[in-house]
Structure 1
Amino acid sequence: MVEDGWPISEVAARFQVSWPTVKRWVDRYLAGEPMQDRSSRPRTSPNKTSKSVTKRCVSLRMRLREGPVQLAARLDIAPSTVHRILTTARLNRLSYVDRATGEPIRRYEHPHPGSLVHVDVKKLGNIPDGGGWRYVGRRQGERNRAATPGKPKSKWHNPKLGYAFVHTVIDDHSRVAYTEVHDDETAVTAVGVLHRAVEWFAERGVTIQRVLSDNGGAYRSHLWRDTCEALSITPKRTRPYRPQTNGKVERFHRTMADGWAYARCYTSEQERRDALPDWLHQYNHHRPHTACGNQPPFSRLINVPGQYS
């Protein structure tokens, strides 16, 4: 165009580019500017996510291990923005999430609350006074364990702190969870939890019809069978060595472990147990759940007293 006087339309057709591109290059040539390729990135991005929000998003991801929907609710930004931040930071996938079962995922959901509830027990090691080894290190954790009073001794003189057994009853349709912490997983304890869970759900307008459990000793006992019969509940059990069938309560326990059990440094086992009701309220009433349309599980309970007042 400059040397031979070609029209801009012919040059654009010759090189298969738009005429604004030809005009832009010609203007640069006439102005004596360098002809190297330039980045198309804008000089300023007024709507770019601030660095403080990005840092907080990454920090919450590493500390709470929550997904984009949950983090978006905490940060008041779009889930797609959270996913972009996590992808840039290479945190969009957690290694422990990948479960190579070799089988396709089969999703199901019962039609209304109470149609089916899942029950299971999560076993957690008790925390010694002063903090456990996950946060204070192995050496200090052993000292704290040895200094914690009221624990039995093993034959190797290694102090045992015992275990906390978290009994959970979770509704299949709404994902609303009821949880208690006990020192054992016997049939008597499991039956007591079931009685209190039935009353707790009934106060919220939910009548339990079926209960699904694994093949643990408590759930195979005659006491469990007779209790379900007295409560007009149909007991069901999963296929042996097939925990995927009870996957909703298993997944809840993993969320609970990340959000409560190992979320921060507890200085004692009692402090951790005292923190459970607040976390459970956050889960049921406020935490967005992807299976509930990014709404909290309690939004699926339609007969809660005072819900529409």
Structure 2
Amino acid sequence: MTHANAPLTPVGRLRLARCVVDEGWPLRRAAERFQVSPSTAARWAGRYRELGESGLVDRSSRPHRSPRRLPTRRERRIVKVRLARRWGPARIAFLLGLNPSTVHRVLRRFGLARLAHLDRATGRVIRRYEHVAPGDLVHVDIKKLGNIPDGGGHKVHGRRAGGRNSSAHRDPTRPRKVHGRPNLGYSYLHNAVDDHSRLAYTEILPDETKETASAFWTRAQAFFQAAGVVVKRVLTDNGSCYRSHLWRDTLTDAGITHKRTRAYRPQTNGKVERFNRTLLDEWAYAEAYRSETERRAALPRWLHTYNHHRGHTALGGQPPTTRVPNLTGQNS
């Protein structure tokens, strides 16, 4: 690509070279005519004599020799360590006594994918997919979350004062399992995320039994139907509630196919796993809540923002509402 400030384009070089070679102009006169130095005019005229018009196009600035480049054997060792241990440039550089930027250039030269794009268990590039229509697949999962004591926990008051609040407001129906450690109990976030639109539905429930999970799905399906989404398949992990006959019958009665992930492969259900992380970062731990009631009261507002206003990187910066036909109910 010609530089923006270059005085000669390939067409201008051809004209200059023809003036010198074909018409016999002196180099100084041709250089003055085309407003370049005599050495530049000599270079283009020489290339035209030797290679013709093909010699007047831009050439790569890459040097013919790189005497300071790493030996091939060391480059191969960098690649071998990356493939075997799945380390980043900094750790590889420390192991081999190199500069991290040098290791990074070698990895790029060999076209090795970023660690973020790899499955850490196998080292293979993660295959990303997206179903073509809302409802083709809905991801369902449960996230366990510790309750906040009245008055606030350690995030508000520090470890010492937060521990006192935890001990004073533990769940009286749940005896201590470890002496001196409070037992506040847990909340269970039951989440459902549409694969195509990322439309999400969440409830905070007291447990993760088959009855609770099945009742949650009945309400979640009603939510998706109200938004104009007909659910065809549901993907879950292998939790006991999802392996129950009650869960199976609930989906079968609704005409929905149930799919489960492979054992020890949570990344298969990655969209809802990523939603869990977003939920924790932007709602559960986003503020220093002073009670569990205060945190729970903030969930509906955050979920509305997520579905209607928050830009999603997988959707080109648009919220899920842009991919759902009737989320706001205007077509009802």
Bin of the TM-score, shorter chain as denominator length: 0.5 to 0.7
Which residue number corresponds to residue 225 of structure 1? 248
Which residue number corresponds to residue 139 of structure 1? 160
Distance between the aligned counterparts of 1:15 and 1:182, measured in 2? 80
Q: Which amino acid aligns with 2:131?
A: H
Structure 1 gaps, min length 5: 1-8, 17-96
Correspondence for 2:314 among 274, 286, 291: 291
Correspondence for 1:197 among 210, 217, 220: 220
TM-score between both structures, scaled by the size of structure 2: 0.62
Which residue number corresponds to residue 300 of structure 2? 277
Distance between the aligned counterparts of 1:214 and 1:280, measured in 2? 23
Distance between the aligned counterparts of 2:185 and 2:245, measured in 1? 27
Q: Which amino acid aligns with 1:154?
A: R
Correspondence for 2:128 among 104, 107, 110: 107
Q: Which amino acid aligns with 1:165?
A: Y
* Aligned residues with identical type, % of pairs: 58
1:126 aligns with 2:147: yes
Deviations 1:25-47 (A, max 9, x none): xxxxxxxxxxxxxxxxxxxxxxx
Q: Which amino acid aligns with 2:158?
A: G
Structure 2 gaps, min length 5: 1-30, 41-115
Which residue number corresponds to residue 275 of structure 2? 252
**TM-aligned CA deviation for residue 146 of structure 1:** 1.4
Change in 2 beyond 3 A, CA 1:190/1:275: same
Q: Which amino acid aligns with 1:170?
A: V
SS in 1 for 2:251: helix
Maintained 8 Å contact 2:187/2:207: yes
Distance between the aligned counterparts of 2:157 and 2:299, measured in 1? 22
Distance between the aligned counterparts of 2:285 and 2:316, measured in 1? 27
**Within-5 A mapping of 1:11-22:** 13=37
Deviations 1:49-101 (A, max 9, x none): xxxxxxxxxxxxxxxxxxxxxxxxxxxxxxxxxxxxxxxxxxxxxxxx89861
Which residue number corresponds to residue 176 of structure 2? 154
1:301 aligns with 2:324: yes
Which residue number corresponds to residue 48 of structure 2? none
Distance between the aligned counterparts of 1:278 and 1:239, measured in 2? 34
**Is 136-145 or 153-162 further displaced after alignment?**
153-162
Q: Which amino acid aligns with 2:162?
A: G
Change in 2 beyond 3 A, CA 1:98/1:276: farther
TM-score between both structures, scaled by the size of structure 1: 0.67
**Within-5 A mapping of 1:14-163:** 101=120, 102-148=123-169, 150-151=171-172, 152-155=174-177, 156-163=179-186
**Is 214-223 or 136-145 further displaced after alignment?**
136-145
Change in 2 beyond 3 A, CA 1:116/1:273: same
State the number of aligned residues: 224
**TM-aligned CA deviation for residue 158 of structure 1:** 2.9
SS in 2 for 1:219: helix
**TM-aligned CA deviation for residue 163 of structure 1:** 0.7
Maintained 8 Å contact 2:210/2:244: yes
**TM-aligned CA deviation for residue 287 of structure 1:** 0.3
